[in-house]
Amino acid sequence: MKKIINDANEVVQDMLDGLIAAFPNQLKLVEGTTVVARKNAPIPNKVGIISGGGSGHEPAHAGYIGKGMLDAAIAGEVFTSPTPDQVYEAIKAVDGGAGVFMVIKNYTGDMLNFEMAAELAEADGIQVAQVIVNDDVAVEDSSFTTGRRGIAGTVFVHKIAGAKAESGATLQEVQAIAEKVVNNVRSMGMALSPCTVPASGLPSFELEENEMEIGMGIHGEPGTEKKEIASANEIAEELTNKILDDMQLNSGDEVAVMINGLGSTPEMELFIVNGKVHQILSGKGIKVYETFVGEYMTSLEMAGCSVTLLKLDEELKQLLAAESLAPAFRK
Amino acid sequence: MKKIINDANEVVQDMLDGLIAAFPNQLKLVEGTTVVARKNAPIPNKVGIISGGGSGHEPAHAGYIGKGMLDAAIAGEVFTSPTPDQVYEAIKAVDGGAGVFMVIKNYTGDMLNFEMAAELAEADGIQVAQVIVNDDVAVEDSSFTTGRRGIAGTVFVHKIAGAKAESGATLQEVQAIAEKVVNNVRSMGMALSPCTVPASGLPSFELEENEMEIGMGIHGEPGTEKKEIASANEIAEELTNKILDDMQLNSGDEVAVMINGLGSTPEMELFIVNGKVHQILSGKGIKVYETFVGEYMTSLEMAGCSVTLLKLDEELKQLLAAESLAPAFRK
């Protein structure tokens, strides 16, 4: 295991210290927690938006904190759900009196712990609502999930729910728009190589030198199949077609495209995939409103990528285009 | 070699196609070339700023094209200088009558080819000026360089020269500010693992499982030494102290910090390094004005990082803070 770390058991705290050092005017660590919040949280009368999960997916989730996106993010241990008490601290840190909205990826541990935290907060009189993101079309049920997993499409939920909250919407309105995003976003990924969780020191899965895995999860959960490495065009086709099989997209529809790198895939390769995805969509008359290429939801140093499509309407386009000052999603 | 590509000899063209597909309203490919330019280039009466070099360093250089930064970037083959005729096309594409400024990294091939292109352009009556970036303090002279190499600090030259040009400055004024940046910026890197150029299929260098290399270049050029992997704190100290030995920084001085990932280093690790770099600077009374953590100048999928410090004055701070709409450097 080759990593630039100090102590494999302290990587999350060390990372958070380095994050706050980088953005001292925008972010703060809620004392005694692994919760990162906007410096000016809570914001009176604005719905607070929180997300989070295991660490190792950077820039998710703390990189999405800022005006127009999240108010706070909870960092669990690497690939481990944050505990209910940490989520509860995040809710309290961002409640400005208009309630708190939780963006949860569909992993059993995350759901249990966020929901327990919500109960604690509701007992304090804080209104809490939530959405469960399950954009990964690869598999039904998985190592840590009943139903579909939440992956890179979650970033679009952060962006659009965040923009809605920033516009002064109510908790119910934020929930409605977040559900609209979840209903219209689909993703699928593939990997060329695994990653290694620092505390375990072992690769998350194994692949032969000529193999790739299609549909694996962002914690190395098994996908649909291991097979010989294909060309970028074939990979783009396989991922995109699986997504298109699952969502109603017609000629003339507009989408946002995200080509997400999982950690060690050169940007060059992501752009090569992007070219083919655009060709496929163009061939079907589907218009691309905006494209995002880069590392948005990683798996430490896993090599591979995911494709995400978000079907847009006028309201979603406007919220996607709204200002964001989050470090990892400046608009 | 595991890569998401179609043909190892077509990666640059495929990447450029995917890049233009991603940003069709901001970027254009100059026909028949590997030059990417702002959609609205040339801009009348603005100094045009160009940069470029071998591909494989993405988001450098095309990711820095946009209002407030570059007007065009030339993409050479992977780790190979662009040819003079391509650079000449870039100069012509961005000349709006106020001259063209070239940001060149100190590699022998780049210098020769940019300078030959400048001569061709000057014969056409286009004024051309340039700066040579040599921020890497690791070694004097290297595989492809006489003197010091240009690495991640180049991005600060793009930003600040770009902001100056956008403000309506003359070619001479742009050159003066770019030279000021070069005189005040220093970098140093380290690697845990090499990268593989697609067309060769071979790793750029070799390291044992417990080894790291200090001071290697962004094409895998040898550094100062190979030694046992140290902790993140020790790595941060070694890189930062080598930089501080080389520049005049006193208590009360202000700097910008860049912690740059070389391709496959998780952002978590970059933030861990950043925390220690801030501690070292703080211990010396050096103030950090702004911090940049991420992938700014990569080496395909090399694992490792570099640290860059830019000493600031009021003028540089103002230009660093100015608006940038470049995809990889939004401000």
pLDDT of residue A145 exceeding 90, the answer is no
In a domain, B327, yes or no: no
Q: By C-alpha distance, which of B25, B29, B87 is closest to B62?
A: B29
- CA–CA separation, A209 vs B243, rounded Å? 39
pLDDT bracket for residue A142 (50, 70, 90): confident
Give the end of a domain, one of A183, A213, A232.
A183
- CA–CA separation, B285 vs B263, rounded Å? 32
Same domain assignment for residues B176 and B258: no
Nearest CA in chain B to A306: B4
Suggest the residue from B15, B77, B272 to mutate for an interface test with chain A (most A CBs closer than 10 A): B272
Same domain assignment for residues A114 and A208: no
Tokens of B24: 């069709």
Same domain assignment for residues B169 and B103: yes
In a domain, A328, yes or no: no
Task: Please check whether residue B78 is in contact with residue B198, taking contact to mean a CB–CB distance below 8 angstroms.
Answer: yes
Tokens of B86: 């391509």
In a domain, A69, yes or no: yes
A309-329 pLDDT, tens digit per residue, is 999 999 999 999 999 999 999
In a domain, B289, yes or no: yes
Which CATH number belongs to the domain containing residue B164 in this structure?
Answer: 3.40.50.10440
Task: Please check whether residue B99 is in contact with residue B171, taking contact to mean a CB–CB distance below 8 angstroms.
Answer: yes
Once rounded to an integer, what is the mean pLDDT over residues A63-78?
A: 98
- Give bridge partners of residue B329 from the DSSP assignment: B326
Residues of chain B with Cβ-Cβ distance to A14 below 8 Å are 232, 271-272, 275
Question: Helix, strand, or coil here: A5?
Answer: coil
Same domain assignment for residues B73 and B164: yes
At residue A161, the pLDDT reads 98
Same domain assignment for residues A171 and A49: yes
In a domain, B5, yes or no: no
In a domain, B38, yes or no: yes
Please report where in the chains the tokens 């200002």 appear, as a residue.
Answer: A323
In 10 A of CB A112, how many CB atoms? Answer: 12
Question: Angle at Cα A237 formed by Cα A236 and Cα A239, nearest 5°?
Answer: 65
Nearest CA in chain A to B300: A266
Domain count within chain A: 2
pLDDT of residue A94 exceeding 90, the answer is yes
Domain span holding position B199: 186-321
In 10 A of CB A146, how many CB atoms? Answer: 12
Same domain assignment for residues B156 and B192: no
In a domain, B330, yes or no: no
Distances (CA, A) of A179 to A65, A131, A325, B69, B211: 20, 6, 23, 38, 48
pLDDT of residue B142 exceeding 90, the answer is no
Q: What share of chain B is helix, strand, coil (3-state, %, to 5)?
A: 35, 25, 40
- CA–CA separation, A1 vs A196, rounded Å? 7
Q: What is the mean pLDDT of chain A?
A: 97
Same domain assignment for residues A70 and A127: yes
Q: How many residues does chain A have?
A: 331
The dihedral region occupied by A84, where left means phi > 0, alpha psi between -120 and 50, and beta the remainder, is alpha
Tokens of B70: 């570059």
Same domain assignment for residues B202 and B162: no
Same domain assignment for residues B104 and B198: no
The dihedral region occupied by B215, where left means phi > 0, alpha psi between -120 and 50, and beta the remainder, is left
> Does the annotation count A57 as an active-site position?
yes
Same domain assignment for residues A171 and A190: no
Tokens of A269: 């390769």
Same domain assignment for residues A111 and A236: no
Give the end of a domain, one of A165, A183, A201.
A183
- CA–CA separation, B295 vs B297, rounded Å? 6
Closest in B192, B271, B275 to A2, CB measured: B192
At residue B143, the pLDDT reads 81
Q: Where are the strands (E) in chain B, listed by range?
A: 27-29, 35-38, 48-55, 72-78, 100-105, 128-133, 185-193, 211-214, 225-228, 254-261, 287-294, 303-312, 325-326, 329-330
Same domain assignment for residues A119 and A204: no
Which CATH number belongs to the domain containing residue A235 in this structure?
Answer: 3.30.1180.20
Helix orientation angle between B84-94 and B108-123, rounded to the nearest 10 degrees: 50
pTM for the model: 0.98
Suggest the residue from B69, B78, B271, B297 to mutate for an interface test with chain A (most A CBs closer than 10 A): B271
pLDDT of residue B60 exceeding 90, the answer is yes
In a domain, B326, yes or no: no
Provide the residue type at B12 as one letter. V
Residues of chain A with Cβ-Cβ distance to B16 below 8 Å are 271
Give the end of a domain, one of B183, B198, B214.
B183
At residue A124, the pLDDT reads 98
